[in-house]
Amino acid sequence: MVVRRATAGGAGLRRISRPLLRLVAVALSAMLAVAAWQVTDRPRHSAPPSTVSGADAPAAIGDVLGRTTSISSPLSAAPPGATLIARTAGVRLLAHGFIDHYGVGSAARSAPPGRRLLAFTLEPRPGEAADAPETEPVLSIRIGAVERGPLVISKDYLVAAVPTGITSSSAGSSSAASSSAGSDGVDLVLTEDGVRQSISLLTGRPNSDRLLVCTRLHRWVGSATPDKGTPADNPRDVTMKVTRADGTSGMTSGTITVESASLSYWAQNLSHPPDRRSAFLHVSANVKLAGDKVGYGAEAALLHLRLPDGTVVPAVNAAANPGEDIDNVFTVPATFTTGTISYAGSISSGLGSQSVVGPVAVPVAIPAG
């Protein structure tokens, strides 16, 4: 094979060796591969060019519920806070909106008769107690009284066909009860541990069944983060009266330290508060008495929390193995910011009893938001 090449002395011919040809072919293939990646990996919120118009594309069959890499028009960005968080995984709605058709060329499809096409995009989010998704979120789409799934998160667009009577202005009925007959909402539903929460795919706003505490920015304080708020006035002195089973008793002293406080919806034993606008406040309180080499977790029966409105909440040990571990929790509003932990009262067992001589109070605060 020969190619023409311009030289200082004028036009000429130069033969390219076969090894060099192979190198050129490999380089050209690599350039084409990069070009192809740049085309197919375009931002998914832009509408790729299509050779078929919405009017020309044949109608899809049924309610569709599929994935595509191409849609006819850009989607609207979801509003801030369009996020659902469960125990091990979560999801964020990125964009949503109605489109005329999806797909390219012979694969293009328009809405079935009596329906509109609704497209949306998602991304996974970490669960309540993780820095990264631990599991694939269990997702479905609820259209009126019908729910279908599971949905799988990918870089593609998700497309569903919904009745033409459903519009963005009809999203007011989307709520925790939108699966009831006659509802005209369209919702993304996240389910885990029997707890269901949802976002309207018409407005992008979370419904009233969302777990409020799971989307808070500030949910933890501890002695290692004084700049982010920390339990104050630690440690506190404590005096205990100890009575043995044989009736002999004595006094001892020590300290109690509230080492950390955090908010969550789930406890270690997978229990959770009774409603979506409540949370568990976990308090790590350590008691160390004279002569003890190490401290121990304060017993739940001796801990109470006083809220700013005067409500007093008892602690519950919600550890997965309460005989060996302690996870002291208080049921509080999901918007909790301040309260006072009191260490007071008496407890008894087969070995005897112990009483706190003079209640001890330790304030605790978690930044709002």
Partner residues linked to 238 by β-bridges: 254
Average pLDDT over residues 226-240: 67
Cα separation of 86 and 190, whole Å? 8
CA–CA distances in Å: residue 139 to residues 86, 121, 135, 145, 147: 11, 13, 12, 16, 10
Average pLDDT over residues 156-166: 92
To which residue do tokens 């208080």 refer? 330
Q: Which of 127, 153, 156 is nearest to 140 (CA)?
A: 153
Side-chain-facing half-sphere of 225: CA atoms under 13 Å: 13
Average pLDDT over residues 120-145: 88
Q: Which sign does the torsion angle of CA 228, 233, 234, 240 carry?
A: negative
Q: Which of 15, 140, 21, 113 is nearest to 58 (CA)?
A: 113
| Residue 46 in this model has a pLDDT that exceeds 90 | no
Least confident of 23-27, 265-269, 335-339: 23-27
φ/ψ of residue 237, rounded to 5: -70, 145
Q: What is the pLDDT of residue 294?
A: 87
Confidence of residue 8 (pLDDT cuts 50, 70, 90): very low
Q: What is the pLDDT of residue 171?
A: 52
Q: Note whether 258 and 285 are within 8 A (CB).
A: yes
Q: Note whether 187 and 178 are within 8 A (CB).
A: yes
Average pLDDT over residues 19-24: 37
| Residue 34 in this model has a pLDDT that exceeds 80 | no
| Residue 203 in this model has a pLDDT that exceeds 70 | yes
Cα separation of 47 and 41, whole Å? 12
Q: What is the pLDDT of residue 143?
A: 93
Average pLDDT over residues 200-229: 82
Average pLDDT over residues 79-106: 95
Cα separation of 263 and 221, whole Å? 9
Cα separation of 330 and 311, whole Å? 12
Cα separation of 330 and 75, whole Å? 43
Average pLDDT over residues 128-134: 75
| Residue 124 in this model has a pLDDT that exceeds 50 | yes
Most confident of 57-61, 89-93, 354-358: 89-93
Q: What is the pLDDT of residue 170?
A: 52
Q: What is the pLDDT of residue 249?
A: 87
Average pLDDT over residues 258-283: 94
